[in-house]
Amino acid sequence: MIQWRSPALEAQISEWIESHKQELLADIAGLVQIPSVASYDPSSSYPFGQQCAQAVQYVLSLGQRHGFNTMNRENYCAVISMGDEDKRSVGIWGHVDVVPAGEGWIYPAFQATQKDDFLIGRGVQDNKGAVIAVLYALRFLKEQGITLSYHLQQIIGSGEEIGMHDVAYYRKHYAVPDFNIVADSGFPVCYGEKGMLSVLLGFELGTSSIVSLKGGVSSNSVPGYAGLVLQRNEAHLAKLSTLPPSIQYSVTEQEIKLEAWGKSGHAAFPQGTSNAIANLLQPLIEDEWFEGTVHTGLQKLHDICRHYDGRALHIQCEDELSGPLTCVGTIVNVDYGSVELELNIRYPIKQSAQTLLQKLTESGLTLNHVTVSEPSYCDPNTPEVERLMSAYQGITGEQREPFVMGGGTYARKLTNAVGFGPGLPADFSELGLPQGHGHIHGPDEVQSIPNLMMALKIYIMALLELNEYFC
């Protein structure tokens, strides 16, 4: 039996983690092998597809193996629980769905490759590694015989990346815990999230030689690839020799295809990324490949995708709590002159989505499929947050402050919810990956194994802190 805050407590936790590390990594690898890219069909018994349902069952099987109470909530969510159901409840949320692999991977996307102290594969960071780490935190409590003063539930969704219909379903049909921790963020505590605005912009280029322009694979990722197909003509053929080396091209009897690459990454954190759509269009605009409304329209498309602050649409803004707005053109589709561009906008907590939509309307562009997710905020001075902060500070020795971010997690769909890890700063330069690789939603997604073990230790200590508080 653990003695709370005894001198040997942290050493005991560390020894347990080390003895279970290889098993934990193997469980992550098994989950990463499931290509659980979600698509939503509420009429199906597999609402996010069979692969997501398989991932849900995989986690439930792990919970059953370790003797937990488990429930499959109609393939929307998995629930693994322990403690007295009549007591105050705490939920720890995560998700097993992932964004598509996208282009440019060096390592297999759906395989957890271990290289030195790192795991590489889609979902090792977002969010499969965290899901398994949290499960092992519960396992520690159970194996150590901890009697909980609260009802603890690990709730794992399967549609987080495509609109969070999973958590909406859960809220409609089941009781949400009294206090909610979302293990899909960074440490220490994220107590607020910017608002999210998704808009499909439409406009016409007019008659042109453009057959198609496509870029992007996910509505919340900066595009890493874009391709343009043109009708073959002498004017375009003459300009091919002026293209920079970053643009690749091929020619057939009827068409010319141009391709460009960028640096993909999460649309909530676009700094350091490079949008392939803008990269493809820039030399064409500079060398005036097109005229009139086509040139003007492509210039607008380029400017929207190049700048991440919304300046091209006159919506840039910021506040002191959450910083500046971000605006990313994530998916483009041009079909014989008709342009559709999906925007992923993260706006400050104090800003109004309606004000932004009004400005977009005034730009003369057509707005389709508008989706608004309001900002979230939880008072960072509550005792529960203070306990999480105590766990983080006690394990790391760092005095970092709670923060607000642009990322969107389940916290925005829940009440009394905060983000809490597992993200910690990591330097994976020793892997020698190309620039832009290694990040969440990008190619060769990387998870530091020591960081994940540190996160597990923080989670265990946080659950013990809450246990003391709720006594």
Do 127 and 205 belong together in one domain?
no
Residue 3, in any domain of the structure: no
What 3-state class would DSSP assign to 137? helix
Do 307 and 449 belong together in one domain?
no
Query: Contact 171/28 with Cβ under 8 angstroms?
Result: no
Residue 352, in any domain of the structure: yes
Q: What is the pLDDT of residue 253?
A: 94
Do 44 and 76 belong together in one domain?
yes
Residue 131, in any domain of the structure: yes
Residue 239, in any domain of the structure: yes
Q: What is the pLDDT of residue 365?
A: 86
Query: Contact 40/47 with Cβ under 8 angstroms?
Result: yes
Please give the Cα distance from 182 to 426 (Å, whole number): 20
Do 214 and 303 belong together in one domain?
yes
Q: How many domains does the chain have?
A: 2
Residue 1, in any domain of the structure: no
- The overall longest dimension of the chain from CA atoms, in Å, is 81
Query: Contact 422/187 with Cβ under 8 angstroms?
Result: yes
Do 146 and 207 belong together in one domain?
no
User: Which CATH number is 18's domain given?
Assistant: 3.40.630.10
Cα-trace Rg, the chain:
24
What 3-state class would DSSP assign to 428? coil
Do 180 and 119 belong together in one domain?
yes
Do 205 and 233 belong together in one domain?
yes
Query: Contact 346/309 with Cβ under 8 angstroms?
Result: no
Burial class from Cβ neighbours inside 10 Å (0-12, 13-18, 19+) for residue 41 reads exposed
Residue 50 in tokens? 């069979």
77-82 and 89-95 beta bridge pairing? unpaired
190-193 and 403-405 beta bridge pairing? parallel
Residue 415, in any domain of the structure: yes
Please give the Cα distance from 371 to 436 (Å, whole number): 28
Query: Contact 230/209 with Cβ under 8 angstroms?
Result: yes
Residue 278, in any domain of the structure: yes
Which DSSP letter does residue 429 get? G
Please give the Cα distance from 367 to 404 (Å, whole number): 28
- b/e 144-168 (16+ beta carbons within 10 angstroms → b): eebebbbbbbbbbbbbbbbebbbbe
Please give the Cα distance from 93 to 105 (Å, whole number): 29
Residue 316, in any domain of the structure: yes
Do 352 and 458 belong together in one domain?
no
Tens digits of pLDDT across the chain (471 residues): 345 567 688 899 999 999 999 999 999 999 999 999 999 999 999 999 999 999 999 999 999 999 999 999 999 999 999 999 999 999 999 999 999 998 899 999 999 999 999 999 999 999 999 999 999 999 999 999 999 999 999 999 999 999 899 999 999 999 999 999 999 999 999 999 999 999 999 999 887 789 999 999 888 899 999 999 999 999 999 999 999 999 999 999 999 999 999 999 889 999 999 999 999 999 999 999 999 999 999 999 999 999 999 999 999 999 988 999 999 999 999 987 889 999 999 999 999 999 999 999 988 889 999 999 899 999 999 999 999 999 999 999 999 999 999 888 999 999 999 999 999 999 999 999 998 899 998 899 999 999 999 999 999 999 999 999 998
Q: Which domain holds residue 286?
A: 196-373
Do 223 and 361 belong together in one domain?
yes
Do 103 and 227 belong together in one domain?
no
Do 245 and 367 belong together in one domain?
yes
Do 439 and 461 belong together in one domain?
yes
The last residue of one of the domains, among 336, 353, 373, is 373
User: Which CATH number is 291's domain given?
Assistant: 3.30.70.360
The last residue of one of the domains, among 332, 350, 373, is 373
Please give the Cα distance from 37 to 33 (Å, whole number): 12
Backbone angles phi and psi of 271, in degrees to 5: -60, 130
The last residue of one of the domains, among 319, 350, 373, is 373
Q: What is the pLDDT of residue 7?
A: 67
